[in-house]
């Protein structure tokens, strides 16, 4: 206990220091973990309503935010890591703001976004009661080497989950996990209503591991199916029950699927306490997380920041945003957090940008992006590798129209900081108060 | 050039086939075959097909892209082949089909048909792949190389000095490939690991067949290599010398030279 208290104090001190420096760091978590390696076990071990882990390649941050909002709207005290800090140290860092000196988190439910690798590291010290597994796509193959490896990581996470999992019925990498669960673990599914699925673009990677077609069971009364009504409005159907129709503040099909996943898991965690009306109200109020379709008022015109990090995500983002042509910039970095291999840009079709063109490409691999666009005959207005100069140019050359920036992770972080400084936005990691 | 159009129903026109402006009168039709786009094309290998198709068109030729899946029939007159890297599971899925078309591929390679095989397909074009457990999986033997499974994975930027200048890409492989005596490499490694991380060679080349570990994808950023393959394909398709168009490669040159400079700087520093 003494050691935990010492870890809380050391971590809180490091957190104050990190925030004075500009925040958003996993360092305070590292400090606390060094002082007390059992910190996480102690803090989360007795959260009464469960520890829910959200993992998968695309949509973790958005889905986690939606799930936490729905559960909180039902009167539960929710602990979550809201900043996309999806490594275990990031989770500890987010705890340090609200944890008492006892080191035991004062919450009813924990809803945690964890990346595929760290979800497994996390499960070694805290057994998740629930896991929501979103999808498996080619992403950061320089880190995970194979898509199959990512699928295996998620399957191991599910195997270590105690009470229940929610799986994506449309993603065969995830759907096959059904076969590898522990005894007594409940399975629920989320997905797109088969009635409308044929009208939608392919959202998932081909799973080439097996020759047989995967048969997903018919949706039961506790499985959530997305039913889009138009570009903005949709419902989630559970047997005869329905959450909707509703509109999110975040646009696009990906956000609707994330809402479907979050609602299905919320229903599982809350049981009979779940209220469709409360869930609907909560979902409608959720704002997009930083940089994920976030709209910033930049000098009287909206500027949209859209995080892209793999072919599936970029394709869905173009499907969502490409139909509304605006002044567009694409910023591609290749640091570790972005994925060092930019090959994936060639697995995305950019034809939807052809008519309006792209105003600028930027980032370390700005020329590679411009080259990629040239092969889809998309006109490019210019290449400016420096992100700040590129942002200046985009704003100066397109003052009277909406602007949109597709960007990889580190490019998004840098642009978000520049925009926060210019337009008085909340800093990264301070979203709860925004 | 006729007879390739609709008779092979198992072949589908590829996404890479769809777009691009026609440039004047066609100088001829080039049939480009993408081997196993589903099983053996992660890490952006589709980009090489997009690049070849786009450049062939810009050089003034027509192009038809054939996606070859396990069980489908090869076109009657293929002029250019591209094969990419897959996962171990994907490699297992194509072995049977590859055995079925092996004689045809060997004959075409001997006739000088250009082929670019990357990573997994490069390994399958060699003599054998020997797994970590010692199991020997036979290859096509078109390139005189042997690959062994390795505990260490070789991942990162790769720069190679070739007869077409410095070529840049991204390698991501656990197989370690060794050239037989007399087998020419594609080039010498300037940064990265290449074939095996120890002998300084990268890739292999026999006639117009090139195997290598260059993802990136390799061709868009390295137009001289792309055009060498296209030239051989065009000559094969038309029976006339390659008649190149005037292409603007400014963006490719900027992307390539900047990335090479970064990687060489890191290689020197370490």
Contact yes or no for A142 and B259 at CB 8 A:
no
Q: Is the dihedral of CA A180, A184, A185, A186 positive or negative?
A: positive
Q: Which residues contact A201 (CB under 8 A, 6 or more apart)?
A: A315, A316, A319
Put simply, whether B20 touches A (Cβ < 8 Å) is: yes
Give the helix, strand, coil percentages of chain B, each rounded to 5: 30, 25, 45
Cα end-to-end distance, chain A, whole Å: 34
Q: How many CA atoms lie within 13 A of A139 on its CB side?
A: 25
The domain A1-285 is placed in CATH, from the list 3.40.1190.10, 3.40.50.20, 3.40.1280.10, 1.10.10.10, at: 3.40.1190.10
Chain-chain contact of B87 with A340 (C-beta, under 8 angstroms): no
Residues B123/B147, Cβ–Cβ less than 8 Å: yes
Distance (Å, rounded) from C-alpha A416 to C-alpha A393? 16
Chain mean pLDDT for chain B: 88
* B50 in a known ligand binding site: no
pLDDT of residue A44: 87
A341/B174 touch (CB, cutoff 8 Å), yes or no: no
Give 10-residue mean pLDDT values along chain A (434 residues).
77 76 67 77 86 92 96 96 69 80 87 88 91 85 70 90 94 86 92 80 62 77 93 92 94 91 98 97 93 87 90 83 82 91 90 93 98 96 98 95 94 93 72 34
Helix B250-269 and helix A366-375, axial crossing angle in degrees, nearest 10:
150
Find all residues with CB under 8 Å of B204, minimum gap 6, and list them. B122, B126, B143, B144, B145, B177, B179, B183, B184, B185, B186, B195, B210, B211, B212
**pLDDT, average across residues B174-182:** 95
Within the 23-52 window of chain B, which residues sit less than 8 Å (CB to CB) from chain A?
38-39, 42-47, 50-51
* B215 labelled catalytic: yes
Q: Is the confidence at residue B244, as pLDDT, over 90? A: yes
Whether residue A142 and residue B156 make contact (CB cut-off 8 A), yes or no, is yes
Q: Is the pLDDT of residue B35 over 70?
A: yes
- Reduced to 3 states (helix: H, G, I; strand: E, B; else coil), residue A194 is helix
Closest residue in B to A366 (Cα) is B255
pLDDT in tens, B57-85: 999 999 999 999 999 999 999 999 999 98
Residue of chain B nearest A342, judged by CA positions? B216
List the single best residue of A336, A338, A341, A345 to mutate versus B (max B Cβ within 10 A): A341
Q: Output the CATH code of domain A293-423.
A: 3.90.190.20
Over 50: is that where the pLDDT of B13 sits?
no
Q: Where in chain A is the domain with CATH 3.90.190.20?
A: 293-423
Choosing from B79, B173, B215, B236, the catalytic residue is B215
Check B34, B51, B119, B212 and give the catalytic one: B119
Rounded mean pLDDT of B172-200?
96
Beta strands in chain B (DSSP E): 12-13, 29-35, 62-68, 80-83, 115-118, 128-130, 136-138, 145-148, 154-162, 165-173, 176-179, 187-191, 201-202, 204-206, 209-212
pLDDT at A432: 34
CB atoms within 10 A of CB B114: 25
Percent of chain B with pLDDT over 90: 72
Write down the pLDDT at residue A209. Answer: 61
pLDDT at B11 (0 to 100): 44
Whether the model clears a pTM of 0.90, i.e. scores above it, the answer is no
Residues of chain A with CATH 3.40.1190.10: 1-285
pLDDT at position B246 is 95
- In this structure, which CATH number among 3.40.50.1820, 3.10.100.10, 3.40.50.880, 3.50.50.60 belongs to the domain B16-268? 3.40.50.880
Highest mean pLDDT among A93-97, A198-202, B134-138, B172-176: B172-176
The residue to which tokens 């060094």 are assigned: A34
pLDDT digits over B100-133, tens only? 999 999 999 999 999 999 999 999 999 998 988 8
């Amino acid at each position: 206990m003494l050691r935990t208290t010492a870890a809380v104090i050391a971590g809180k001190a490091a957190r104050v220091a990190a925030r004075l420096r500009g925040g958003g760091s996993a360092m305070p978590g590292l400090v606390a973990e060094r002082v007390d390696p059992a910190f996480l076990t102690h803090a989360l071990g007795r959260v009464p309503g469960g520890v829910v882990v959200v993992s998968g390649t695309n949509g973790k941050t958005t889905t986690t935010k939606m799930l936490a909002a729905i559960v909180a709207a039902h009167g539960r005290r929710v602990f979550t890591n809201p900043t996309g800090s999806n490594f275990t140290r990031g989770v500890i860092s987010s705890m340090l703001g609200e944890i008492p000196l006892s080191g035991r988190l004062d919450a009813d439910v924990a809803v945690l976004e964890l990346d595929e690798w760290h979800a497994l590291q996390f499960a070694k010290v805290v057994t998740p009661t629930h896991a929501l597994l979103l999808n498996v796509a080619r992403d950061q193959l320089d880190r995970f080497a194979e898509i199959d490896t990512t699928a295996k990581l998620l399957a191991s996470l599910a195997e270590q989950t105690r009470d229940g999992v929610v799986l994506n019925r449309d993603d065969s990498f995830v759907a096959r996990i059904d076969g590898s669960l522990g005894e007594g673990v409940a399975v629920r599914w989320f997905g797109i209503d088969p009635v409308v699925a044929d009208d939608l673009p392919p959202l998932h990677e081909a799973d080439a591991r097996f020759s047989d077609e995967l048969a997903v069971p018919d949706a039961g009364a506790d499985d959530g199916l997305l039913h889009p009504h138009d570009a903005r409005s949709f419902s989630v159907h559970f047997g005869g029950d329905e959450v909707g129709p509703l509109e999110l503040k975040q646009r696009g099909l990906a956000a609707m699927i994330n809402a479907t996943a979050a609602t299905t898991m919320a229903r599982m965690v809350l049981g009979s306490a779940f209220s469709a009306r409360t869930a609907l109200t909560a979902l409608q109020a959720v704002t997009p997380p930083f940089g994920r379709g976030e709209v910033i008022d930049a000098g009287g015109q909206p500027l949209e920041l859209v995080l892209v990090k793999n072919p599936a995500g970029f394709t869905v983002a173009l499907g969502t945003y490409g139909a509304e042509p605006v002044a567009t910039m694409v910023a591609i970095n290749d640091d570790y957090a972005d994925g060092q291999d930019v090959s994936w840009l060639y697995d995305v079709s950019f034809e939807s940008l052809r008519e309006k063109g792209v105003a600028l490409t930027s980032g370390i691999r700005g020329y590679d992006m411009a080259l990629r666009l040239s092969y889809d005959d998309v006109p490019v207005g210019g290449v400016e590798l420096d992100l700040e100069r590129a942002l200046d140019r985009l704003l100066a050359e397109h003052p009277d129209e909406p602007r949109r920036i597709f960007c990889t992770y580190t490019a998004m972080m840098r642009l978000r900081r520049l925009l926060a400084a210019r337009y008085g936005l909340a800093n990264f990691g301070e979203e709860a108060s925004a | 050039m006729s007879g390739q159009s609709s008779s092979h129903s198992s072949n589908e026109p590829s996404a890479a086939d769809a777009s691009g402006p026609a440039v004047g009168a066609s100088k001829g039709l080039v049939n480009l075959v993408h081997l196993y786009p589903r099983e053996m094309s992660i890490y952006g290998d589709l980009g090489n097909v997009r690049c070849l198709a786009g450049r062939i068109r810009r050089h003034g030729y027509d192009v038809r892209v054939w996606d070859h899946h396990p069980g489908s029939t090869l076109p009657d007159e293929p002029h250019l082949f591209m094969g990419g890297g897959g996962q171990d599971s994907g490699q297992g899925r194509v072995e049977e089909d590859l055995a079925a078309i092996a004689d045809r591929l060997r004959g075409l390679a001997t006739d000088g048909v250009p082929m670019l095989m990357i990573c997994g397909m490069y390994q399958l074009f060699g003599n054998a792949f020997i797994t970590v457990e010692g199991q020997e999986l036979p290859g096509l033997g078109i390139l005189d190389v042997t690959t062994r499974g390795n505990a260490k994975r070789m991942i990162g930027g790769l720069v190679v000095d070739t007869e077409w200048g410095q070529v840049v890409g991204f390698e991501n492989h656990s197989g370690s490939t060794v050239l037989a005596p007399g087998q020419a490499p594609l080039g010498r490694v300037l940064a990265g690991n290449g074939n095996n991380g120890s002998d300084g060679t990268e890739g292999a080349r026999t006639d117009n067949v090139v195997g290598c570990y260059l993802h990136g994808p390799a061709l868009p950023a390295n137009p001289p290599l792309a055009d060498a393959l296209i030239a051989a394909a065009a000559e094969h398709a038309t029976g006339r010398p390659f008649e190149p168009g005037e292409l603007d490669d400014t963006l490719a040159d900027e992307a390539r030279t900047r990335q090479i400079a970064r990687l060489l700087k890191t290689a020197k520093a370490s």
